[in-house]
């Protein structure tokens, strides 16, 4: 067999660990030639590849980013001609299967190209942890650790000056990073896309803490919005499969709070620092398991499936799910999730308290 590996969408800690595990698992069995496809689906459409032998994928476990490069702007499904061109290129390269490592957009594209006859195995990758059918994706643990450290860091400034400190996390339309980092970082309020917040409730929280001479730390997901309000959009990138780029809601919230408070309000947008750096040990292990499982599906001839983790409980078994059940879907935080309930029970506000 000749198997291609590509990484699509945004970069993510643990991508190299998956590339390494997938390639080594295939090579060790001696039943596959492995090539890397450069820059995601852009490289597939242009035929840019490189050989992935044992040496090429050694020594990359600890590295962030992806040795193959990635792109979140190429969309082979943009037109029938684009899809036909991508399939023709894959066949010209002699590919029997493609392991696509990516998030919602990557799985949607892979599912669409599978309908044109290509054979895919998907590996769920996203710091947002929002892929349908997968309880935990690699990269998420690293992003949570980064956001948690940021929340810890702003605590001292908040304490010293009696300020309201707002920290904005990534996550797009799902609040998993903000939820877990907010709990781990001792945030006083956690604002999620799944639970619209009431600015008046947050004003009351901050005023109450002001009277106690206490600072306030708010962790807000980039997709959070006030009840009846709109998302905060940083920019729109035309031609991208997902053109909307969220960002800046921390500054929007600061503007809502400041007129009603004596305390100074400071906003910090973490942005891409959450995507970078080396993966945590947990993400290295999970990514290695995912890579091995992807290779197993290839060798078994079980195509157009995505590797999954059934539960985020340690030791949970890996499984797989049809790409068609993942495409165009987002896994969001249920408002009654056990972590939401736990946080509420220890006094954390989700900004939805009634007037």
| Residues assigned a catalytic role | 128
**Alpha-carbon gap, residue 328 to 105, rounded angstroms:** 7
């Amino acid at each position: 067999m000749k198997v291609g590996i590509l990484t699509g969408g945004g970069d993510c800690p643990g991508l190299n660990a998956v590339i390494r595990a997938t390639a080594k698992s295939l090579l060790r069995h001696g039943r596959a030639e492995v090539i890397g496809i450069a820059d995601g689906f852009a490289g597939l459409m242009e035929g840019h590849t490189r050989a992935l032998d044992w040496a090429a994928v050694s020594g990359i476990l600890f590295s962030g980013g992806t040795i193959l490069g990635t792109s979140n702007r190429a969309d082979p499904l943009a037109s029938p001609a684009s899809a036909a061109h991508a399939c023709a290129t894959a066949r010209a390269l002699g590919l029997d299967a493609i392991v696509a490592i990516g998030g919602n957009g990557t799985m949607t594209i892979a599912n669409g190209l599978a309908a044109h006859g290509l054979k895919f195995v998907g590996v769920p990758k996203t710091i947002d942890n929002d892929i349908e059918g997968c309880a935990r994706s690699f990269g998420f643990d690293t992003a949570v650790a980064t956001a948690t450290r940021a929340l810890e860091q702003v605590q001292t400034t908040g304490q010293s000056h009696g300020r309201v400190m707002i920290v904005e996390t990534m996550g797009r339309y799902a609040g998993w990073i903000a939820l877990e980092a907010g709990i781990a970082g001792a945030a006083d309020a956690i604002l999620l896309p799944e639970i619209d917040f009431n600015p008046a409730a947050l004003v009351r929280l901050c005023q109450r803490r002001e009277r106690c001479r206490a600072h306030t730390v708010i962790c807000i997901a980039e997709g959070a919005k006030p009840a009846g309000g709109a998302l905060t959009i940083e920019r729109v990138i035309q031609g991208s499969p997902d053109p909307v780029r969220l960002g800046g809601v921390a500054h929007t919230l600061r503007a809502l709070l400041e007129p009603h408070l004596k305390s100074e309000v400071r906003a910090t947008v973490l942005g891409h620092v959450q995507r970078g750096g080396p993966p945590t040990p947990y993400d290295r292990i999970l990514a290695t398991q995912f890579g091995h499982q992807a290779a197993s599906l290839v060798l078994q001839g079980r195509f157009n499936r995505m590797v999954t983790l059934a539960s985020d409980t340690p030791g949970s078994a890996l499984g797989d799910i049809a790409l068609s059940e993942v495409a165009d879907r987002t896994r969001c935080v249920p408002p009654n999730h056990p972590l939401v309930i736990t946080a509420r029970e220890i006094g954390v506000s989700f900004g939805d308290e009634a007037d």
